[in-house]
Amino acid sequence: MRSSLIACLALVPWAACTQQPLNDAKHRATPTLESSSYRDQLLSLHKQLVSIPSISGDENAVGNFLVDYLTARGYHAELQPVAARQGTPTSKQRFNVLAWKGERAPSARIVVSSHIDVVPPHIPYSISPGEVTSETMIKGRGSVDAKGSVAAMIVALEQLHASNAIATQDDVMLLFVVGEEVAGDGMATFSHSLSKMKKPPKFDAVIFGEPTENRLACGHKGGLFCSITARGVPGHSGYPWLGKSANDLMVRALAKILDANLGSSELFGNTTFNAGRFDGGVAANVIPEKAVVQFAARVATGPEDKGHEVVAERIQRILHQVDDEAFEMDCTHGYGSVKCNCEVDGFEKITVNYGTDIPNLAGNHTRYLYGPGNILVAHGARENLTVADLEEAVEGYQKLIVHALTQ
């Protein structure tokens, strides 16, 4: 029976400050690689990964596939249990997958990591008909975010092992986690397991796989994820002065928040605010007693551990200005802007606005963020990338692994 990972390791003025890529993507040509020696392996692995549904909370099948795939290729693969998400079947075990060459407990210097969960709904795998070329397009949920990274990472490491480019087999570990798309509970579980060890491993570097258009990210914005509740006094809509509309209060507050300076920086641009969901009232002719907004702010300022707190304080002040009694804000989690190492020869640079598992892994390691595909098509109905994107990512991950090992 497969043992757990823990047991194994126990062995406005600011409106002009918009974020821009560090290189102009409009002038970046897609490479037209000749067919690589590993193309068949890469496309087959990618197809199998994308074809297996793995919406956050139900990642069991794709995790088991990876364990079998890696074990068959000489890896020692371990499972690390992760608690079931509320509202999902508890009969299906959730787990992270950790794998390395060799049988002994890993003493890895480098961790290569991405996530195996995806957002809903599942979209079947498809590939453009005809002869496969570098421009052939592949579609399906997770084809970009982030099973493209997972496939390219595995093939990249396989190529390095085959060419004996890694002196010690267990210098590099693969870590594939669950739950990144929701709250990062997979990476948080892995990080917590390390903190409980008497002698936790000290990684030199961790390479995180996310869609960066095969450019090396200098970092990403932080996040603040909260709900705001406004409470009013219900009544007949014909006599609004006799009640207090929670919806009116919320609309006024949101307008002020959207116009406010929530923080900006030269690298990441503005902090942005998205009111993703608004629920208020019971009927058109009733003064609403309660309104609730769920929001996600993308935090452009640091430090990583406290930057989000500044944004929360600024929002809270606005709520008090609108009404000092009506509002309550409840935040689930947050973090400030995240910086990564992007000073590696041979890579174009970028900054991104989305969140990653980087802040969920504690430690004083160098952090790299890189992967195939464009975030603008991820999470959408037409999530896609090309064969060239995947092959370029294999080459990029090899460069990053070798670079990290030589530092």
Q: Residue 216 and residue 349: Cα distance in Å, rounded?
A: 5
What percent of the chain clears pLDDT 90, i.e. is strictly above it?
Answer: 84
Pair 282, 368 in one domain: no
Q: Which residues of 234-261 are buried (b: 16+ CB within 10 A; e: fewer)?
A: bbeeeeeeebbbbbbbbbbbbeebeebe
Whether residue 188 lies inside any domain: the answer is yes
**CATH code, domain carrying 308:** 3.30.70.360
Q: Which of 289, 310, 335 is the last residue of a domain?
A: 335
CA quadruple 287, 290, 296, 302: dihedral sign: positive
Pair 177, 231 in one domain: no
Q: What is the DSSP letter of 55?
A: B
Whether residue 85 lies inside any domain: the answer is yes
Nearest CA among 130, 96, 92 for reference residue 111 = 96
Q: Please calculate the CA angle 24-29-30 and round it to the nearest 5 degrees.
A: 125
DSSP-assigned beta bridge partners for residue 80? 96
- Among the listed residues 59, 78, 158, 180, the single catalytic one is 180
What pLDDT is attached to residue 170?
83
Q: Are 139 and 382 in contact (CB under 8 A)?
A: yes
Pair 61, 205 in one domain: yes
What pLDDT is attached to residue 21?
47
Q: What is the dihedral of CA 71, 77, 81, 85, to 10 degrees?
A: -60
Q: Which of 319, 335, 351 is the last residue of a domain?
A: 335
pLDDT in tens, the chain (407 residues): 344 333 343 333 333 344 444 443 333 444 444 678 999 999 999 999 999 999 999 999 999 999 999 999 999 999 999 998 776 666 678 999 999 997 766 679 999 999 999 999 999 999 999 999 999 999 999 999 999 999 999 999 999 999 999 988 889 999 999 999 998 999 999 999 999 888 888 899 999 999 999 999 999 999 999 999 999 999 999 999 999 999 999 999 999 999 999 999 999 999 999 999 999 999 999 999 999 999 999 999 999 999 999 999 999 999 999 999 999 999 999 999 999 999 999 999 999 999 999 999 999 999 999 999 999 999 999 999 999 999 999 999 999 999 999 99
Pair 326, 355 in one domain: no
Q: What is the DSSP letter of 370?
A: E
Pair 86, 199 in one domain: yes
Count of CB atoms within 10 A of residue 225's CB?
A: 17
Q: Which of 306, 335, 364 is the last residue of a domain?
A: 335
180 is catalytic: yes
Q: Residue 225 and residue 257: Cα distance in Å, rounded?
A: 15
* 3 state DSSP class of 343: coil
Whether residue 13 lies inside any domain: the answer is no
Count of CB atoms within 10 A of residue 406's CB?
A: 6
Q: Residue 281 and residue 290: Cα distance in Å, rounded?
A: 6
Whether residue 25 lies inside any domain: the answer is no
Whether residue 65 lies inside any domain: the answer is yes
Nearest CA among 373, 397, 387, 365 for reference residue 112 = 397
User: What residues contact residue 359 under an 8 Å CB cut-off, 6+ apart?
Assistant: 222, 304, 335, 338
Backbone angles phi, psi at 259, to 5 degrees: -90, -5
Whether residue 7 lies inside any domain: the answer is no
Q: Where are the alpha helices (DSSP H) in 33-136?
A: 39-51, 60-72
What pLDDT is attached to residue 370?
98
Pair 96, 228 in one domain: no
Pair 285, 347 in one domain: no
**CATH code, domain carrying 137:** 3.40.630.10
Whether residue 369 lies inside any domain: the answer is yes
Pair 149, 83 in one domain: yes
Pair 269, 315 in one domain: yes
Look at the chain and report how many structural domains it folds into: 2
Whether residue 9 lies inside any domain: the answer is no
Pair 199, 243 in one domain: no
Q: Residue 170 and residue 111: Cα distance in Å, rounded?
A: 10
Pair 232, 104 in one domain: no
Q: Residue 15 and residue 306: Cα distance in Å, rounded?
A: 23
Q: Residue 64 and residue 286: Cα distance in Å, rounded?
A: 53
Q: Please calculate the CA angle 288-291-294 and round it to the nearest 5 degrees.
A: 165
Pair 202, 118 in one domain: yes
Beta-strand relationship, 110-115 and 172-177: parallel
Q: Residue 232 and residue 247: Cα distance in Å, rounded?
A: 8
Q: Are 140 and 51 in contact (CB under 8 A)?
A: yes
Q: Residue 140: give the domain boundaries.
A: 38-218+338-406
What pLDDT is attached to residue 262?
98
Q: Please calculate the CA angle 377-114-90 and round it to the nearest 5 degrees.
A: 95
Nearest CA among 67, 58, 45 for reference residue 149 = 45
